[in-house]
Structure formats: structure tokens, C-alpha cells
């Protein structure tokens, strides 16, 4: 989770970015890059794609900065862009040769080859997240990892609160099944 910048600093960075100061925008990137990177990694399960999507998130944010009204926190606004880009990425990948199903089948192999996970539990959890349908994964990422309420997540995902609750419920059922056997000693 990103450390909060003093609101005045953040406001100045946004104002200066709107005036075309890319270095001010770089300060915003520095502030929120870890949050965005973690979010898109959980959504994609891939380091390379996470890097691309994180970069795309910030580029899109810069492009749309004049539409940021300050009604929500800047981090929430960024979150929305990152999640929507990730969902689009999934849809794109699915269109390209139905990678979605291939992904679910091969994700374990892919992550087994990825030795950058800090521990076995982290790898198993990401494998389980990778197997979830993209929208259910987004609901879990927003509510569990980003601590948004179901109502906030519904706004970000542009669906009803009931839909988010159902997605979270369905995702939890699957995750519990897939993650059984993780003992408390591993926690």
C-alpha cells in the first residue's frame, strides 16, 4: 500500500501535471507505483505484463488527468484505471487464441518456473488467483487486497453491489477449495 503524500503535495503534483509538467507526474508515479504494480500483478500473474500494465495505467492516468474531479481519492481513481486495463487485457488475451483457458491450465507450470516468488504460500495463492475468472479476481483484489467495501468496488467496476457480493462469494468458495491444506504454520 502506498504511503500517503500530504494532500497539498499531491494536489500540487496533479495541478502541475495538468500544466504539462511531466516531472510532477513522475512524483505521482513514484508515490503510487508499488500499489499499482501489486494490483496489476495480482490481476495478471505475470511480471512482464504487470510492468506493461503499470506503465499503461500511468500513461492513461496522465492522459485523463483532467477528468479527475477529486471526488474520490487519487489512489482510488488510479485503482479504477488499473483494474479496467487489467480486465481489458484479459479480454484481449482471451480473444487472442482463448488464452484464458490455456492460462488456467498452464498457470501452475508458469509460476513453478517463476522463482521470484518470496515463498511457497505466495506462489500457491497467485496460482489460485490466476485460476479465477477475471471479474471474480478483480472483486477479490479490490475488496481483500485494496480494502475497498463492496459498494466502493461496485463503483470502480461499474456494476451493482449485489454483483460484487456474488463475485466475492463465488471466488471465496473456489479459493477455499484450492487453498485447503495451507496450515496455520505457514501463516
Partner 1 sequence: MNNSELDAILKRARAPERSEEFFETFPHQVARQLKRTGQQGLPVGPRWFPRLAWGLATAVCVLIGFAIGHWCGRTGAEALESKDVLQNAKFVQETLAMFPNQVCVIMHDQHGLNLVLSNRGDVPASPPIYVRVCDGKNCSSCVTFSGQEVQIAGQELTILSDAAGGVIVTGRRFVWSSNLPHSTGGNLKIETKSLNLTTL
C-beta of 124 vs 131, nearer to partner 1: 124
The yes or no reply on residue 114 touching partner 1 (CB under 8 A) is: yes
Dihedral, CA of residue 63, residue 67, residue 69 and residue 70, to nearest 10: -30
For 83, counting Cβ atoms within 10 Å of its Cβ (0-12 exposed, 13-18 middle, 19+ buried), the class is buried
Asked whether the beta carbons of 42 and 128 are under 8 A apart, the reply is: no
Stretch that binds partner 1, among 4-12, 73-81, 90-98, 157-165 (CB under 8 A): 157-165
C-beta of 54 vs 157, nearer to partner 1: 54
C-beta of 68 vs 145, nearer to partner 1: 145
Q: What is the nearest approach in angstroms of partner 1 to the Cβ of residue 29? A: 4
- x/- letters, 19..58, toward partner 1 (CB under 8 A): -x-xx-xxx-xx--xx--xx--xx----x--x---xx--x
Q: What is the nearest approach in angstroms of partner 1 to the Cβ of residue 170? A: 7
Q: Which of residues 120-139 bind partner 1 (CB under 8 A)?
A: 121-122, 124-126
- Residue 172: CB atoms within 10 A of its CB come to 15
Residues 6+ apart with CB under 8 A from 80: 156
CA distance 44 to 27: 25
Residue count of the chain, please give it.
187
Q: What is the nearest approach in angstroms of partner 1 to the Cβ of residue 178? A: 10
Q: What share of the chain is helix, strand, coil (3-state, %, to 5)?
A: 75, 0, 25
C-beta of 97 vs 131, nearer to partner 1: 131
Both ends of the chain: CA-CA distance in Å?
20
Q: Which spans of this chain sit near partner 1 (rule: CB under 8 A)?
A: 20, 22-23, 25-27, 29-30, 33-34, 37-38, 41-42, 47, 50, 54-55, 58-60, 62-63, 114, 116-119, 121-122, 124-126, 140, 144-145, 160, 162, 165-166, 169-170, 172, 175-176, 179-180, 182, 186-187
Amino acid at each position: 500500500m502506498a504511503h500517503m503524500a500530504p494532500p497539498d503535495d499531491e494536489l500540487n503534483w496533479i495541478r502541475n501535471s495538468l500544466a504539462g509538467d511531466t516531472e510532477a507526474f513522475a512524483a505521482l508515479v513514484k508515490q503510487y507505483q508499488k500499489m499499482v504494480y501489486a494490483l496489476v500483478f495480482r490481476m495478471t500473474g505475470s511480471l512482464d505484463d504487470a510492468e506493461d500494465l503499470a506503465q499503461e495505467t500511468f500513461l492513461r492516468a496522465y492522459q485523463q488527468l483532467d477528468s479527475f474531479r477529486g471526488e474520490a481519492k487519487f489512489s482510488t481513481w488510479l485503482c479504477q484505471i488499473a483494474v479496467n486495463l487489467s480486465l481489458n487485457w484479459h479480454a484481449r488475451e482471451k480473444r487472442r487464441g482463448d488464452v484464458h483457458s490455456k492460462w488456467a491450465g498452464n498457470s501452475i507450470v508458469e509460476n513453478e518456473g517463476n522463482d521470484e516468488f518470496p515463498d511457497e504460500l505466495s506462489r500457491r495463492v497467485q496460482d489460485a488467483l490466476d485460476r479465477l475468472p477475471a471479474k471474480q479476481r478483480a472483486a477479490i483484489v479490490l475488496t481483500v487486497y485494496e480494502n475497498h467495501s463492496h459498494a466502493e468496488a461496485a463503483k470502480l467496476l461499474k456494476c451493482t453491489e449485489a454483483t460484487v457480493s456474488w463475485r466475492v462469494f463465488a471466488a471465496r468458495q473456489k479459493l477455499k477449495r484450492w487453498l485447503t491444506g495451507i496450515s496455520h504454520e505457514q501463516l
